[in-house]
Amino acid sequence: MTGTRRLVVPLLIVLALVGGIWGVILVQGIKPRLGLDLTGGTSVTFEPHSPDGRAPTDDQLNTTIDIIRSRVNSKGVAESEVNLEGGSIVVSIPNVKNPDEVLKAVGTTAQLRFRPVLAEVVSSSPEYKKAPFAAVDCSKPATWIDEINKEAILCAREPGQDRPDPNAPKLQMGPVALGGTDISGATAQLATSGQNAITTGAWETALRLSGQGARKFAEVTGKLACNPSGDPKRRLGVTLDAVVINSPPMADDVQCNQGIVGGSAVITGQTEAEAKALAPLITTGALPLSLEALNRTTVSATLGADSLRAGLIAGALGVAAVFLYMLLFYRGLGLVACVGLAIAGALNFGIVILMGKLIGFTLTLAGIAGLIVAVGISADSYVVFFERLKDEVRDGKTLRASVDRGWARSFHTLVSANTVSFAAAVVLYLLAIGPVRGFAFTLGLATAVDFFTVWMFGRPAVSLFARTRLLREGRLAGIRAAI
């Protein structure tokens, strides 16, 4: 009785574990988190570059990833991923209506600067053509322009335009008065007017200034307000990545040498799209690294569904072939192996689903391949055990004694084989990039689950099976019929 209980307890533990995992999945309605190659979406690989030309540091990479993740999330994109793979930053977003807009926000450096306007040069004046920088040069980094001319002439941009109008006025800017670090936050909102705060229909970006930024802002706006109304020197230019996005004049009620106080301000004259695009860029801050897009992969939802269907069909056929082989070759014992493989599969897939919910693990087509390959590893564990058991029976030992001896002889082989497979999966995961890491992860997971299942289910199940009359008398075509 004691021996039987010792064999039954591991079986109950395994069954309780499977039941618990799938009970949680079914009760909470958890679904697997599928990758872009199965659901469709867009993935872009960026190569980061440090401003000083050196290799990016870990802190710079981590900060860049955090900022990119914040920018993507601010766009309302669910289930997006930003990962570091082999020194490159991979941004993956599911099927959304405007992937180009999201990816554009990802790579924008968002260097926000406030600079007083010194002069305005219009296209009709003779000085316009003499100005050193034309409209097409507005995308150049501000640091490059400052090296050429300390008081750079930048191009103005009209609201709603992606690039400056070639005939737009050129603004001669003074030194930077405030930077992006002086802004603590930004919000896109509808503009209001009057004491009753009636909306005007226009959009604006409300800025919240830090303590030091508020002092700087009051100082510069106070100086600008000392210029007469209509004078370009009364304007404060707002540049984003060296492009003038706005240059509003000081309102008439701003006092000379007092400026705008209170630690807040608004950027007016924007469309809804401009305000909603600018606010998260200002809030998340500037990227410490510049990003160069290396490649972009887009998978349609239809193609993803076809890939998922093909992967599941291939997996089902492979598992069916393994089951058929085990039943034909090992007969009664093959039935035990099939049940063990089914339990291992239930554990593997259940753990993958729960990991998608708990830590955001994404199952890709390569990951499915890793799970399918692991079926062969699990089957091999049973084959090793059964062959050692058959050797013991051939030596004249009883079936019950052969189970224990066969397991003892196969145990070290199973440990060695699974250790090698698991170590290979770990090394592959650490060194590989892209989908190969998904394959390595699921392969390593399945290898660990396989050893656990064979130990907790395979050995006690075979021991109990060997005690039945059907197996001892050969009625189920068990081990004696297989030798």
The pLDDT of 105-134, averaged and rounded, is 66
pLDDT at 146: 34
Chain segment 266-275, per-residue pLDDT in tens: 877 778 877 7
Which is higher by pLDDT, 78 or 5?
A: 5
Residue 398: which of 410, 389, 407 has the closest Cα?
A: 389
Kindly tell me if the per-residue pLDDT of 37 is higher than 50. Answer: yes
CATH 1.20.1640.10 residue window(s) in the chain: 2-36+300-472
The pLDDT of 398-427, averaged and rounded, is 81
Structure tokens belonging to residue 387: 């062959």
pLDDT at 481: 42
pLDDT at 183: 81
pLDDT at 227: 92
CATH 3.30.1360.200 residue window(s) in the chain: 112-284
- Residue 4 sits at φ, ψ, to 5 deg, of -65, -40
Residue 118: which of 203, 216, 233, 6 has the closest Cα?
A: 233
CB atoms within 10 A of CB 469: 8
DSSP string, 320-364: HHHHHHHHHHHTHHHHHHHHHHHHHHHHHHHHHHHHHHHT---B-
CATH 3.30.70.3400 residue window(s) in the chain: 41-108+290-297
The pLDDT of 311-323, averaged and rounded, is 82
Tell me, which fold does domain 112-284 have in CATH? Gyrase A; domain 2 (3.30.1360)
d(CA 99, CA 149): 38
Kindly tell me if the per-residue pLDDT of 415 is higher than 70. Answer: yes
The pLDDT of 290-295, averaged and rounded, is 78
Kindly tell me if the per-residue pLDDT of 473 is higher than 60. Answer: no
d(CA 440, CA 446): 10
d(CA 184, CA 211): 9
CA-based torsion, 360, 365, 370, 376: positive or negative: positive
d(CA 45, CA 454): 41
The 8 Å CB, 24+ separation contacts for 1-10 are 4/464, 6/460, 7/460, 7/463, 7/464, 8/460, 8/464, 10/455, 10/456, 10/457, 10/459, 10/460
pLDDT at 135: 32
The pLDDT of 351-367, averaged and rounded, is 81
d(CA 311, CA 319): 12
d(CA 447, CA 474): 33
Q: Is 84 helix (H, G, I), strand (E, B) or coil?
A: strand
**CATH numeric code, 2-36+300-472:** 1.20.1640.10
- CA distances to 170, 269, 314, 340 from 402, rounded to whole Å, are 92, 86, 37, 20
Per the CB < 8 A criterion, the answer to whether 242 and 143 are in contact is no
Q: Does domain 41-108+290-297 have CATH number 3.30.70.3400?
A: yes
Listed in sequence order, the residues at least 6 apart from 104 whose beta carbon sits closer than 8 Å to its beta carbon are none
d(CA 79, CA 101): 17
d(CA 92, CA 457): 40
The pLDDT of 64-78, averaged and rounded, is 71
The pLDDT of 321-332, averaged and rounded, is 82
Label residues 298-331 b or e (16+ Cβ within 10 Å = b): ebeeeebeebbeebeeebeeebeebbeebeeebb
d(CA 12, CA 409): 25
Kindly tell me if the per-residue pLDDT of 133 is higher than 50. Answer: no
pLDDT at 150: 36
Kindly tell me if the per-residue pLDDT of 226 is higher than 90. Answer: yes
- Residue 138 sits at φ, ψ, to 5 deg, of -70, -15
Mean pLDDT (the chain) is 75
Residue 2 pLDDT class (50, 70, 90 cuts)? low
The pLDDT of 36-60, averaged and rounded, is 78
Kindly tell me if the per-residue pLDDT of 140 is higher than 50. Answer: no
pLDDT at 108: 65
Pick the range with the lowest mean pLDDT from 158-162, 387-391, 421-425, 451-455. Answer: 158-162
d(CA 274, CA 320): 56
pLDDT > 90: percent of the chain: 3
- Torsion region of 269: left, alpha or beta (phi above 0 gives left; psi -120 to 50 gives alpha): left
pTM of the model: 0.55
Kindly tell me if the per-residue pLDDT of 402 is higher than 80. Answer: no
d(CA 284, CA 420): 45
pLDDT > 70: percent of the chain: 75
pLDDT at 223: 92
Per the CB < 8 A criterion, the answer to whether 96 and 77 are in contact is yes
Chain segment 236-251, per-residue pLDDT in tens: 887 766 667 677 788 8
Kindly tell me if the per-residue pLDDT of 224 is higher than 90. Answer: yes
